Chain A
Amino acid sequence: MLLIRRFEETVEKLFSEGRIVGTAHTCIGQEAIAVGVASALLPQDAITSTHRGHGHFLARGADPRRLLAELFGRKSGYSRGRGGSQMMMAPEICFYGTNGITGASVAFAAGLALNAKLTGKDRVVAAFFGDGASNQGIIHETLNLAALWKLPLIAICETNGYAMSTPTETGVSTGSVAKRAEGYGIPGLSIEGNDFELVRDTVSSLAARARNGEGPALLECLTYRLSGHSRGDQRVYRSRDEEREAWTREPIARLAAKIEESIKNPGGTGSLPVQNGQSARSPILEEIARAVEEEIASAIAFAEADTVSADDVLEGVYA
């Protein structure tokens, strides 16, 4: 989670410094869902992601150097500089892509699940989407189909409070995406998405169910998008007070506090907000933080040293 947090903070900083261009949608505050899901899945299981996918990708095992190289547009990036933040795939770790079209990847995920069913592959597919995307017709269609065909698909909705600037309450008529599951004929659960262990354990049991041939499920993970929608978002549609309050419930501090408690470090306090890597923590957490900083620094150095190549820009339209 800390790697994701620091990666995303780094991305925002690199943008503000003009060292990377284009756009990116950071997932600060939502790390527990990405890591919880990835922790619950087996290596052969597949994940599809969204436009806000760095966290999903890193949690699955992306190389931060190649991810950052892609944001820098360099040729060793996951899409050789052609895709950017929203268009990267790594089938070798069963990560089937960040995707710039809201909701579209859920159908793709169901296709992976269908292929698994047809070929007898032992595979569960986790498809991420958000509360905004949940309103896309293709998601209603896909979940209906997945239910009819009993596909091994877990549809994971990250309800983070806002679809860009549109609050969940003004987008989702039932107020809860999980409630729609009844309409699709599948189980629907709504859980605290900032609780890493709860996410992991819930996904484990839904995956076991799917692996057992019992079909798909819809899991809504409640969280808060601490980032703006994308870079340049001035966040005029919500108050700083609301954000401050949300920071007190963020997932890394929550888990860190749990770890501290379990170590029973006399010097440890309860909740320590983690922002920009600054806090006083027990040695094991310090060690993790240090390792993360090293990995991030190495990723920046790698990406900046690599080049952009336009030599083959016309190639590869067709396989």
Chain B
Amino acid sequence: MSAITTVQFIRNALDRALDEDPRVFIMGEDIAAYGGSFGVTRGLVDKYGPERIRNTPISEPAFTGMAIGAAVAGSRPIVEIMFMDFATLCVDQLVNMAAKLHYVYGQSCPLVLRTAMGAGRSYGATHSQCLERLFTGIPGLKVVAGSDGPECAGLLLGALADPNPVIVLEHKLLYPVRFEEPQEPIAPIAPGTARVTRQGTDVTIVAWSYMAHLALQAAACLAEEEIEAEVVDVRSLAPLDTATLVASAKKTGRVLVVEEGPLTGGVAAEIATRINEGAFGALAAPVRRLAMPDVPVPSARELERAVMPSATSIADAARDLAMVV
């Protein structure tokens, strides 16, 4: 079987969704002929036409709000927000409309909003952020993040099958990475579960998105030192799969949570608290977090590297923790 990029995995999933369900359409900036800023929607307009692959003007609040209205009326819209940094423009519609539709108004809002997050391309402070924290902890919204190509496809399909608003986070640095295409068609992954991507006994590394990809590399390094790290890919940031996280914490007694966003007030803090609440007696040390420092993302490559977690810094932090008696 061939290895294809994460972009191709996502594109194939979009193609399948558009083909199988006539209610599905995509809206976003430059997604038609241009194929999307990262090429995810390339070619789709030729197959499905400009009514279903809709270029929008630069009007995130409006087209997000429109997608919400269309979803309530029975469509299955996918909104593409070019960079997650721009999702700040969508906050009112997502928080005050989409998230309230079921609990207050009794209506299902099957909206999917896909966006590309993350640093590592020297794009600077407003094109490099991981802003999951704006949306996790808003009752009514779901947030998922894939850490490899098949996962990104499965989570996207799972989001489309969910009658709730789901924010699907993709990572710029994962886009070009190749993964083996599975034999079977990719099954939809419903929001709500984490997965253990590597079994281990000495320390647990909890991460998501690109950091979960790096965590596996860190674990491979540590294995050479005979430290067996268990890696838990969070996958669903809201709702969180507390049971899986706590089970791994109880197993190893030492937990490192890795987050690409700034340390203070991130999702890692919520995860750490849940693990403290559920596994305190089994922990040899407090849950540790490795995140970016509390600074905006600088654009120069060396500066960016200095602040982003890496496979090396993840391994270093996990090693320290594994050494705790």
Contact = CB atoms under 8 A, between A and B. Distances in A.
Interface of A: 46, 48, 79-80, 82-83, 87-89, 91, 96-97, 99-101, 104, 106-112, 114-116, 118-119, 137-138, 141-142, 144-145, 148, 316-319
A115 B73 contact: yes
Given A104-B92, A111-B73, A89 B62 contact: no
Interface stretch (B102-110, B170-178, B228-236): B102-110
B103 A316 contact: yes
Instruction: Please list the 7 inter-chain residue pairs (A to B) with the smallest Cβ-Cβ separation, ordered nearest first.
Output: A111-B69, A107-B65, A141-B62, A108-B69, A111-B66, A141-B59, A115-B73
B279 interface: no
Most central of A88, A137, A317 by chain B CB within 10 Å: A317
Interface string B31-72: 000000000000000000001100011010111111111111
B107 A145 contact: no
B164 A110 contact: no
A114 B108 contact: no
B269 interface: no
Interface in B110-144: 110, 139-140, 142
Contacts of B163: 318-319
Contacts, number: 126
Contact of A316 (B61, B66, B77, B102): B102
Residue picked from B63, B72, B75, B103, most chain A C-beta under 10 Å? B103
Nearest to A82: B104
B139 A110 contact: no
Contact of A111 (B59, B65, B103): B65
A7 B33 CA distance: 53
Contacts of A91: 72, 107
Nearest to A318: B164
Interface stretch (B93-101, B280-288, B317-325): B93-101
A146 B297 CA distance: 37
Contacts of A316: 102-103, 106
B70 A87 contact: no
A138 B61 CA distance: 6
B183 to A, nearest CB: 33
B210 interface: no
Contacts of B52: 118
A131 to B, nearest CB: 19
A79 B69 contact: no
A99 B69 CA distance: 13
Nearest to A110: B66
Nearest to A114: B70
Contact of A144 (B57, B65, B70, B93): B57
B44 to A, nearest CB: 16
A137 to B, nearest CB: 7
Contacts of B64: 107
B27 to A, nearest CB: 9
Contacts of B139: 317
Given A91-B72, A104-B92, A141-B57, 15 more contacts: A83-B104, A101-B92, A101-B97, A104-B93, A107-B64, A107-B68, A111-B70, A112-B72, A138-B65, A142-B65, A144-B62, A148-B57, A316-B106, A318-B140, A319-B109
Interface string B146-178: 000000000000000001100000000000000
B70 A112 contact: yes
Nearest to B111: A111
